[in-house]
């Protein structure tokens, strides 16, 4: 039971590693979301210049590979006199990369809202900001949650690259455990299971967000109804949801 | 409204509520309105009839600024609508100006277009509160009144998706009225309703028409409704007015061949 | 700025990067072959009538898909010491993407009208014939754009091979930077090469998408 002893000895380290991984994931996700919102809304700008510039930014960060961006921020930026903390470096790279993907989600969600909603908002004389905030976005949001869930899981998986900019994340401590036990299968088995559990919990959380978003636009049961396993009539709707969000699509 | 009736008795003519002068609207190569002229007086209830594609709906959409005209001038109460006066010149209207002019106009759509993320009450109070700046209490009180008027007292907290089509359209009517429009545009408001529900919606509209002095511009295929409610009917074809008259006259004794053919087909 | 970026060094870096780029392309192409075939096998076994096949395949599929590719790469690298890193890399990337592809195939298969299954039943066609002659030809057509999208995305993830010391383009760039004590040229160029290669491909796929959408 050497492995068990080694595992117990490694627990504090793994705990710290999980913390760093979570910091990267949540920090990256929050900034990615903000970037996605800004870029996604800018793709709908009336000004050609804004639209064009946004397109370039999005394609740039989608096209140049996450690891390259990470290395660029870590190795090259200091040469330009900007020295970022490793953790912030990781968060920034994740945010820029997944923010660019998220921008497409925002754009798609908004364009999925029916044109009649835009027209009715105009007939009621809302300003374009009121229209977006009160009418369009709440409806688009329900559409955006499942693809955002995919992106969040992709982002979590991307955090494992942080080891290569010398961050002591979960990935790093898995390797430490392998070294101390000499048992690859054991160390990586545990490590992958931890990643899987985190992914699972994030998915559960996002499912709750989705149920709420759909309920808000009265297209589904309330969260309480879903948790209570009660209503047979709402069944079909709940059944489809977990499936759609598991499909990790990134391109 | 004593001032209004007083104004009516004076000799100074009021400007028409709505005036189209040489309005042109094209979609690509297709000219939908070709130099259209017509005007609607205050309190008039005008029905636009004619085959589909004749430009009736386009007129409503131009008024609601959902479309932009390619030429000509649209005025409301004597003030240019799509253009604003800068000194003596007319320049394209700013968004701010258009918003000010638009507060006079309400619209009810064929597809209702209720906001699914809001309750019935919120659908009605949202714009009065955030566009007109009414207090929540005032907006709520007015919403309650309007819901009673359209026969949906108990439905204030329902979501649109829980209502039938007819009920949704009644909410949409209440929502438009909550903005106290001077002009109400009705765009085929019964076309996506089941036949047995059409009557209940039309009855409400008839009520409103006869109990208020809102100017109405109506596009409909319900000829009986046009007859009951409007005091003028314009027959459109190919982006022009073919014939206009009082409903009784136009329905019983149309002069133009196009009108006769059209009425024969729809009645 | 001038002594920061040296065109000399940039020109020196280009051949090194292009050599790495060949490995990048090779890994993408072979990885995609693995993903396309294995993904189909997973999708079909997940529709098996036997729970004993359906269940473990489904669980494994989820597990691989929801955990980081880099960690899986290093895992396999330490586990199979006798196999070359490049082979391990291609296989692991292939398997990881097979789990994505299986979802795409599944959607494609679900998209085939139920009447088609009923018709094969009515014609008493066997399962092999049913899949080969009726279901797959209809299902796969709609999966082509997704296949392309995943190829582009795999292409952008081949730098992860860095973790198991396969000298693909980004590894080459990093090594070049370390040797010359200057990273800016090599890493910037590597990024640009990715952009130049992946953007037109994405555009092409988008075109294919609209064409296949009838």
Q: Is there an interface between A and C (3+ Cβ pairs < 8 A)?
A: yes
The DSSP bridge partners found for residue B42 are: none
Which of B64, B65, B109 lies closest to A116 in CB terms? B109
Share of chain A above pLDDT 70, in %: 89
The verdict on residue A17 lying in a domain is: yes
Pick from A55, A58, A61: nearest CA to A73: A61
Interface of B with A (CB under 8 A): 64-66, 99, 102-103, 105-107, 109, 111-117, 126-127, 130-131, 159-162, 175-176, 179
Query: Which pLDDT belongs to residue A238?
Result: 36
Q: Measured between CA atoms, how close is A236 to chain C, in angstroms? A: 16
CB contact under 8 A, A125 and B131: yes
Chain A and chain B share a number of CB contacts under 8 A equal to 68
Q: Measured between CA atoms, how close is A107 to chain C, in angstroms? A: 16
The verdict on residue A50 lying in a domain is: yes
Decide if A112 touches B, using CB distance below 8 A. Answer: no
Burial status of residue B106 (CB atoms within 10 A of its CB: 0-12, 13-18, 19 or more): buried
The verdict on residue B140 lying in a domain is: yes
Using an 8 Å Cβ cutoff, are B223 and B266 in contact?
yes
The verdict on residue B52 lying in a domain is: no
Q: Measured between CA atoms, how close is A248 to chain C, in angstroms? A: 6
The verdict on residue A251 lying in a domain is: no
Mean pLDDT of B24-30: 89
Q: Measured between CA atoms, how close is A25 to chain B, in angstroms? A: 30
CB contact under 8 A, A192 and C184: no
Using an 8 Å Cβ cutoff, are A67 and A161 in contact?
yes
pLDDT in tens, C66-82: 999 999 999 999 999 99
Q: Which residues of chain C make contact with A250, given a CB cutoff of 8 A?
A: 149, 153
Query: For residue B102, is pLDDT > 60?
Result: yes
Alpha-carbon distances of B80 from A74, B99, B189, B218, rounded to whole Å: 60, 13, 28, 22
Count of domains in chain B?
A: 1
Decide if A67 touches C, using CB distance below 8 A. Answer: yes
pLDDT in tens, C167-208: 988 889 988 988 888 888 889 999 999 899 888 888 888 888
Decide if A133 touches B, using CB distance below 8 A. Answer: no
Using an 8 Å Cβ cutoff, are B171 and B202 in contact?
no
Q: Measured between CA atoms, how close is B216 to chain A, in angstroms? A: 15
The verdict on residue B76 lying in a domain is: no
Of A182-191, B60-69, C88-97, where does the model show the most confidence?
C88-97
CB contact under 8 A, A160 and C70: yes
The verdict on residue B86 lying in a domain is: no
CA-based nearest residue in chain A for residue B123: A135
Query: Which pLDDT belongs to residue A17?
Result: 95
The better pLDDT of the pair A148, B34 is held by: A148
**Which residue, among A108, A169, A251, would best test binding to C if mutated, counting the most C CBs under 10 Å from its CB?**
A251
In what helix (H) or strand (E) does residue C94 lie, and over which residues does it extend? helix C85-111
CA-based nearest residue in chain B for residue A131: B127
Alpha-carbon distances of A51 from A54, A140, C134, rounded to whole Å: 5, 20, 44
Count of domains in chain A?
A: 1
Parallel/antiparallel/unpaired status of strands B183-187 and B215-219: parallel
d(CA A41, CA B209): 41
The verdict on residue A189 lying in a domain is: yes
Q: Kindly report the average pLDDT of chain A as a whole number.
A: 87
Structure tokens at A249: 């699509």
Q: How confident is the model at residue A251 (pLDDT cuts 50, 70, 90)?
A: very low
Check which CATH number belongs to the domain holding B169 and give it.
1.20.1580.10
d(CA B182, CA B45): 12
Q: Per CATH, which fold does C7-212 belong to?
A: MetI-like fold (1.10.3720)
Which of A63, A75, A184 lies closest to C195 in CB terms? A63
Which of A161, A191, A248 lies closest to C65 in CB terms? A248
Please state the φ and ψ torsions of residue C46, each to the nearest 5 degrees.
-75, -10
Q: Residue C131 carries which DSSP code?
A: I
Alpha-carbon distances of A247 from A146, A153, A241, C107, C145, rounded to whole Å: 9, 10, 11, 10, 15
In what helix (H) or strand (E) does residue C123 lie, and over which residues does it extend? none
Which of A75, A164, A195 lies closest to C177 in CB terms? A75
Check which CATH number belongs to the domain holding A130 and give it.
1.10.3720.10
The verdict on residue A188 lying in a domain is: yes
Alpha-carbon torsion, ordered A131, A136, A137, A138, to 10 deg: 110
Range of the domain at B122: 116-180
**Which residue, among B117, B124, B131, B180, would best test binding to A if mutated, counting the most A CBs under 10 Å from its CB?**
B117
Query: For residue A249, is pLDDT > 60?
Result: no
Query: What was the ipTM of the complex prediction?
Result: 0.88
Share of chain B above pLDDT 90, in %: 55
CB contact under 8 A, A195 and C159: no
Range of the domain at A228: 2-246
Q: Which residues of chain C make contact with A158, given a CB cutoff of 8 A?
A: 68
Of A207-221, B22-36, C87-101, where does the model show the most confidence?
C87-101
Decide if A124 touches B, using CB distance below 8 A. Answer: yes
List the subunits that have 3+ CB pairs under 8 angstroms with B.
Answer: A
The better pLDDT of the pair A87, B5 is held by: A87
CB contact under 8 A, A130 and B65: no
CA-based nearest residue in chain B for residue A128: B95
The verdict on residue A131 lying in a domain is: yes
Parallel/antiparallel/unpaired status of strands B240-245 and B232-237: antiparallel
Q: Which residues of chain B make contact with A217, given a CB cutoff of 8 A?
A: 116-117
CB contact under 8 A, B179 and A125: yes
Q: How confident is the model at residue A243 (pLDDT cuts 50, 70, 90)?
A: very low
Mean pLDDT of B189-196: 87
Query: For residue B255, is pLDDT > 60?
Result: yes
Decide if A125 touches B, using CB distance below 8 A. Answer: yes
d(CA B186, CA B115): 18
């Amino acid at each position: 039971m050497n492995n068990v002893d080694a595992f117990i000895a490694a627990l504090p380290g793994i705990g710290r590693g999980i913390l760093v991984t979570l910091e990267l994931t949540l920090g990256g996700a929050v900034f990615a979301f903000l970037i996605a919102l800004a870029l996604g809304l800018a793709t709908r700008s009336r000004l050609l210049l804004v639209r064009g510039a946004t397109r370039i930014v999005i394609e740039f960060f989608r096209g140049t590979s996450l690891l390259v961006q990470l290395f660029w921020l870590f190795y090259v930026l200091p040469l330009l006199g900007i020295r970022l903390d490793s953790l912030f470096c990781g968060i920034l790279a994740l945010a820029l990369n997944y923010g660019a993907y998220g921008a497409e989600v925002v754009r798609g969600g908004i364009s999925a809202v029916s044109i009649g909603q835009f027209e009715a908002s105009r007939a009621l004389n809302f300003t374009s900001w009121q229209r977006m905030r009160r009418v369009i976005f709440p409806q688009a949001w329900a559409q955006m949650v499942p693809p955002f869930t995919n992106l969040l899981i992709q982002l979590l998986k991307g955090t494992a690259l942080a080891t290569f900019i010398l961050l002591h994340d979960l990935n790093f401590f898995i390797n430490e455990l392998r070294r101390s036990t000499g048992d690859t299968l054991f160390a990586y088995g545990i490590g992958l299971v931890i990643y899987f559990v985190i992914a699972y919990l994030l998915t559960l959380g996002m499912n709750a967000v989705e149920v709420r978003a759909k309920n808000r636009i009265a297209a589904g049961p309330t969260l309480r109804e879903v948790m209570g396993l009660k209503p047979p009539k709402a069944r079909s709707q709940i059944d489809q949801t977990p499936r759609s969000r598991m499909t990790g699509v990134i391109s | 409204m004593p001032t209004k009736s007083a104004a009516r008795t004076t000799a100074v003519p009021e400007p028409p509520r709505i005036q189209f002068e040489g309005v042109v609207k094209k979609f690509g190569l297709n000219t939908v309105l070709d130099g259209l002229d017509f005007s609607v007086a205050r309190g008039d209830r005008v029905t636009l009839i004619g085959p589909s594609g004749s430009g009736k709906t386009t007129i409503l959409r131009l008024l609601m600024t959902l479309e932009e005209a390619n030429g000509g001038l649209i005025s409301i109460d004597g003030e240019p609508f799509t253009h604003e006066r800068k000194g003596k010149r007319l320049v394209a209207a700013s968004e701010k100006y258009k918003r000010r002019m638009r507060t006079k106009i309400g619209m009810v759509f064929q597809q209702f277009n209720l906001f699914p993320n809001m309750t019935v009450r919120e659908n009605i109070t949202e714009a009065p509160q955030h566009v007109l700046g009414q207090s929540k209490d005032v907006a709520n009180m007015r919403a309650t009144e309007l819901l009673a008027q359209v026969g949906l007292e108990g439905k204030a907290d329902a979501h649109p998706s829980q209502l039938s089509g007819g009920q949704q359209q009644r909410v949409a009517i209440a929502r438009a009225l909550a903005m106290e429009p001077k002009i109400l545009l009705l765009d085929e408001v019964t076309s996506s309703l089941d036949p047995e529900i059409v009557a209940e919606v039309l009855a409400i509209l008839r009520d409103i028409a006869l109990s208020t002095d809102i100017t109405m511009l109506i596009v409909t295929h319900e000829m009986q409704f046009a007859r009951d409610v409007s005091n003028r009917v314009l027959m459109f074809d190919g982006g022009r007015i073919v014939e206009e008259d009082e409903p009784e006259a136009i329905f019983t004794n149309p002069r133009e061949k196009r009108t006769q053919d059209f009425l024969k087909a729809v009645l | 700025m001038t002594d920061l970026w040296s065109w000399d060094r940039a020109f020196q870096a280009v051949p090194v990067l292009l050599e790495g780029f060949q490995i990048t392309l090779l890994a993408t192409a072979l990885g995609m072959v693995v993903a396309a075939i294995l993904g189909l096998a997973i999708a079909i076994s997940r529709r098996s009538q036997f729970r004993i096949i359906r269940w473990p395949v489904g669980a494994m599929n989820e597990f691989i898909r929801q955990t980081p590719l880099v960690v899986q790469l290093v895992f396999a690298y330490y586990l199979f010491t006798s196999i070359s890193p490049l082979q391990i890399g291609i296989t692991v990337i292939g398997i990881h993407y097979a789990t994505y592809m299986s979802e795409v195939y599944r959607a494609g298969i679900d998209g085939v009208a139920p009447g088609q299954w009923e018709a094969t039943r009515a014609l008493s066609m066997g399962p092999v014939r049913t899949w080969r002659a009726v279901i797959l030809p209809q299902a796969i057509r709609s999966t082509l754009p997704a296949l392309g999208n995943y190829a582009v995305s795999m292409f952008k993830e081949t730098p992860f091979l860095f973790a198991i010391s396969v000298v693909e383009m980004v590894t080459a760039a990093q090594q070049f930077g370390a040797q010359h004590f200057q990273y800016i040229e090599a890493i910037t160029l590597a990024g640009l090469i990715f952009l130049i290669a992946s953007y037109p491909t994405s555009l092409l796929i988008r075109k294919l998408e609209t064409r296949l959408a009838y």
